Amino acid sequence: MEATGTRADALLRLGAALSWRLAGRAERNRRALYGGAFGLRVVTFHDTPPDKLEPVRRLVGWASGRFEMARPEAADALVAGRHRPGPRDALLVTLDDGFASNYEAARWLADAGVAAVFFVVPSLVDRSVGEYVRFHERFGVKAFPLGRDPGARGLASSQVREMAAMGHRIGAHNFAHRDLGLLRSAADLAYEIDNAVAAVAELTGVECRDFAIGFGQPWNVSPEGAAHLQARGLRVYACHRGLNVPGRTPRFLLRHTHEPAHPLAFTKACLAGAGDHRLAGRAEEMARRVGRLPESDGTPG
């Protein structure tokens, strides 16, 4: 039944991609949602074992011919109000969680000239999923098990440092990958946010200013959590699709999650902007909660 459901879902998404294309949805969305502006689109991947790395290669190869391939500094400029739009949208590649399989993805991306942001759960580094869960149990915290078998391993600390040396940026992705929408106390927020940022800085030897919230939807960050992240001056990444445009979209950056089960045509359509109208309400809700990206102040990006 699951396989049948997966096939039915794939057919529905293929149909959506085709109908969006026929309706000229990408350009309609650009005008309606972004005032015709170009901006920064962000895609995120998760685990990248050998059987899932080839789709990443195909998608990045396609994107390199359609987008300006952005470096992490493009997101810095957006958040700081120094964005300078190009003649087309830019695309920043990110990867979440920090599984060991991300190391080969990092090597391939570096060889392809693509600098990505790897958001790691630092307490998974040098541990298996089972060890990571037991680590947090010692502090009375029930960590999210990251949907993997207990033997799956995170990156090694030496690999994280190598990835940074390749030109990639290392950011934080929570400490126990708990839902920040359910956390409100100062102690819980410090455990989940401050510990993650400090641990990544210790791993890399440089200050960590980038944070991707676990699960990534507007309801996955409480008002107290949003205030804590903003008070720390972090660049925060969500995980629902949209084009990041100064003055129009949330201060917490929008990202499209690559799902291996989705047809490539559907993913391409989403990255082109054809599906942005479907999740525009989430972007508006996030903007209501955390504010919008600042308008450009005229400083070169």
State pLDDT tens for residues 165-209.
Answer: 999 999 999 999 999 999 999 999 999 999 999 999 999 999 999
Checking if the pLDDT of 298 tops 90, the result is no
Q: What is the DSSP letter of 78?
A: H
Contact in structure between 135 and 175 (CB atoms under 8 Å): no
Q: Which residues contact 112 (CB under 8 A, 6 or more apart)?
A: 60, 64
Checking if the pLDDT of 150 tops 90, the result is no
Helices 2-22 and 264-271, interaxial angle, to 10°? 40
Alpha carbons 261 and 135: distance in angstroms, whole number: 32
Please name which of 113, 145, 109, 110 lies closest in space to residue 129, comparing C-alpha atoms.
145
Checking if the pLDDT of 5 tops 60, the result is no
Please name which of 99, 91, 45 lies closest in space to residue 239, comparing C-alpha atoms.
45
Alpha carbons 176 and 170: distance in angstroms, whole number: 17
Residues 162-190 as b/e (b if ≥16 CB within 10 A, e otherwise) read: bbbeeebbbbbbbbbbbbbbebeeeebbe
Please name which of 76, 51, 101, 42 lies closest in space to residue 244, comparing C-alpha atoms.
42
State pLDDT tens for residues 259-295.
Answer: 999 999 999 999 999 999 999 999 999 999 999 999 9
Handedness of CA 271, 273, 274, 280 (dihedral sign): positive
Please name which of 260, 48, 239 lies closest in space to residue 152, comparing C-alpha atoms.
48
Where residue 3 falls among pLDDT bands split at 50, 70, 90? very low
Query: In this prediction, what percent of the chain has a pLDDT beyond 70?
Result: 97
pLDDT on residue 2: 34
Where residue 297 falls among pLDDT bands split at 50, 70, 90? confident
State pLDDT tens for residues 263-273.
Answer: 999 999 999 99
Please name which of 70, 114, 74 lies closest in space to residue 92, comparing C-alpha atoms.
70
pLDDT on residue 147: 81
E-strand stretches of 103-144: 117-120
State pLDDT tens for residues 39-51.
Answer: 999 999 999 999 8
What CATH number was assigned to the domain covering residues 2-290? 3.20.20.370
What is the rounded average pLDDT for all residues in the chain? 95
State pLDDT tens for residues 231-250.
Answer: 999 999 999 999 999 999 99
Alpha carbons 170 and 25: distance in angstroms, whole number: 34
pLDDT on residue 300: 53
Alpha carbons 240 and 220: distance in angstroms, whole number: 11
pLDDT on residue 1: 27
Residue 234 tokens, joined? 């972090």
pLDDT on residue 4: 42
Distance of CA 107 to CAs 84, 113, 114, 159, Å?
29, 10, 10, 10
How many residues can be counted in the chain? 301
pLDDT on residue 299: 63
pTM: 0.95
State pLDDT tens for residues 78-94.
Answer: 999 999 888 999 999 99
